[in-house]
Structure 1
Amino acid sequence: MKIPEVSNQDIAIGSPSARVTLVEYSDFQCPACKTYAPLVTKLSADFNKDLRMIYRFFPLTNIHQNAMLSAQAAYAASLQGKFWEMHDLLFENQNDWSDREARDIFIGYAKDLKLGMDKFAKDLDANSTKQFISKSANEAISIGINFTPSFFINGKFIQSPADYEAFKKVIQDEIEAR
């Protein structure tokens, strides 16, 4: 599997000059993605300057009723510089919104993050938001990704590591190889 190159359009945290780039294709309603979210956050903190994280949307709309809307909420937050904060809220509170009408819940999260509410509401439903997410999902499908989360380290697909220590070792090995 060859993933699209990282670009300035990607949602990223960490230095562009980091020795390791971790790309994650994820769905905010996916229980496995929720399980990995704190591990990925810890990796980002532990590897600091050596790790750059890229988040790419892959909402599994065929099995998760709020996958697309949650992605739209995260993208709308990203347009105000609060993607990672919304990312954390969505995963931490997944059980609160995954099986119900979630729009008002996501609007509440935007208020909690002190986002500009007019802009958030407009961006939440904007065609450009939906197109950005769909482009990411279509790219994932085109390279053969069919589950979430899917991780790539420096462009190489890795099987979802069993736990934090296994994930950490994969990254350490990649750093040492560079």
Structure 2
Amino acid sequence: MATPLQVEARLRAPVTAQDHVRGPQDAPVTLVEYGDFQCRFCAEAHRNLTDVLDQRAETVRLIFRHFPVVNVHPYAEQAAVVAEAAARRGRFWPLHDWLFEHQDQLDAVHLSLGVEQLGLPVGEVDDEVSRELHDDRVRRDFVGGIRSGVRAVPALFVNGAPHEGDYDLPTLLSAVDHAAST
């Protein structure tokens, strides 16, 4: 039997041009992920979602939104803000991938090294982070997640409905295929 949270949970923040999108804009299936760069479960989901995008390239678009759980992951919010600074330079997805691949290196020093490895201007990014230029974006994503019923990460919505299954590849592919056929 569904709990009241499951019945009422629905993506409340619509996908907009400001979202980080991977995949075709006109894909029949939209996956919205609320994630935390320091969460190991989000890293596992990231690997599987990457495979889903590869295997269903014309069917799926992925939207990533920030949901840093700072009481558990002390570096997650800083990583999200740095990702937004990278996004300002058209490099969100490369930094997104770097962050998940280097979860054990999300302190300020290692974040700067990652920014440098991707060829981004470290001084400019550090300046934007210190001036909190991207904090509102991260907060907006977080609040949108709360409004949509997100309580833990990773949280995934398939065409606006919460994904209640596991995040292993077969389950995700099945969810995408089901959504594409309905």
TM-score by length of 1: 0.91
Please tell me whether the aligned partners of residues 37 and 76 of structure 2 are also in contact (alpha carbons under 8 angstroms): yes
Mapping for residues 4-153 of structure 1, pairs under 5 Å: 4-97=13-106, 102-153=107-158
Percentage identity across aligned positions? 27
Where in structure 1 are there 5+ consecutive unaligned residues? none
Larger mean CA deviation between 121-130 and 139-148 belongs to: 121-130
Task: Report Cα offsets for 1:72-115 as digits up to 9, x if no partner.
Answer: 11111111111111111111111233xxxx11111110110001
CA separation of 1:162 and 1:81: change in aligned 2, threshold 3 A = closer
Aligned residues: 173
Q: For structure 2, list consecutive stretches of 5 or more residues without a partner in the other structure.
A: 1-8
Q: Distance in 2 between matches of 1:122 and 1:160?
A: 41
Query: Secondary structure of the equivalent of 1:127?
Result: coil
CA change 1:7–1:96 in 2 (3 A) is same
Q: Which runs of 4+ in 1 moved over 6 A?
A: none
Q: Using CA pairs below 8 Å that are at least 6 residues apart, which structure has the higher relative contact order?
A: 2
Q: Output the CA distance in 2 between the equivalents of 1:162 and 1:135.
A: 25
Tell me the alpha carbon deviations over residues 100-146 of structure 1, each in whole angstroms, 9 at most, x when there is no partner: xx111111101100012333223333433001001111121123211
CA distance in 1 between counterparts of 2:74 and 2:86 reads 20
Separation of aligned partners in 1, 2:110 and 2:50: 23
What SS class does the counterpart of residue 56 from structure 2 fall into? Answer: helix
What residue identity is the alignment partner of 2:143? N
Aligned to 2:10: 2
Offset at 1:49? 2.0
Residue among 165, 174, 181 paired with 1:176: 181
Q: Given the alignment of the two structures, is residue 154 of structure 1 paired with residue 159 of structure 2, yes or no? A: yes
124-133 or 37-46: bigger deviation: 124-133
Please report how far the alpha carbon of residue 160 of structure 1 lies from its aligned counterpart in structure 2 after TM superposition.
4.1
Cα root mean square deviation, aligned: 1.4
Distance 1:60 1:96 in 2: 17
How many Å apart are 1:61 and its aligned residue?
Answer: 0.9
